[in-house]
Amino acid sequence: MTEEKKANQQWGGRFSEAVDEFVARFTASIDFDKRLYRHDIQGSMAHARMLHKADILTEEELGSILNGLQDIKEEIERGEFEWSVALEDIHMNIEARLTEKIGIAGKKLHTGRSRNDQVATDIRLWLRDEIDHILAELERLQDGLTELSVKENKTIMPGFTHLQVAQPITFGHHLRAWREMLVRDHSRMVDCRKRMNQCPLGAAALAGTTYPIDRNYTAEQLGFDAPTANSLDSVSDRDFAIEFCSASALILTHLSRMSEELVLWTSQQFDFIELPDRFCTGSSIMPQKKNPDVPELVRGKTGRVNGHLIGLLTLMKSQPLAYNKDNQEDKEPLFDTVDTVKDCLRAFADMVPHIKSKSENMRAAAKTGFATATDLADYLVKKGLPFREAHEVVGKAVAYGLDCGKDLSEMTIEELQQFGAVEEDVLEALSLESCVEARNHIGGAGEG
Q: Is 162 a catalytic residue?
A: yes
Closest CA to 419 of 437, 399, 445, 442: 399
Pairing of strands 156-161, 164-170: antiparallel
From the candidates 162, 284, 318, 441, which is the catalytic residue?
162
Q: Would the CA dihedral through 340, 272, 407, 421 be positive or negative?
A: positive
Whether 145 and 175 have beta carbons less than 8 Å apart is answered as yes
Whether 111 and 56 have beta carbons less than 8 Å apart is answered as yes
In three-state secondary structure terms, 322 is coil
From the candidates 173, 186, 187, 283, which is the catalytic residue?
283
CA distance 448 to 441: 9
CA distance 340 to 252: 9
**Over the range 239-274, which residues count as b (16 or more CB within 10 Å of their CB) and which as e?**
ebbbbbbbbbbbbbebbbebbebbbbbbeeebebbe
Q: How many CB atoms lie within 10 A of CB 341?
A: 28
Q: Is 283 a catalytic residue?
A: yes
Q: How many CB atoms lie within 10 A of CB 287?
A: 7
The neighbouring-strand residues paired with 156 are 170
CA distance 1 to 12: 14
Peptide bond into 322 cis (omega under 30): yes
Give the active site residues: 162, 283
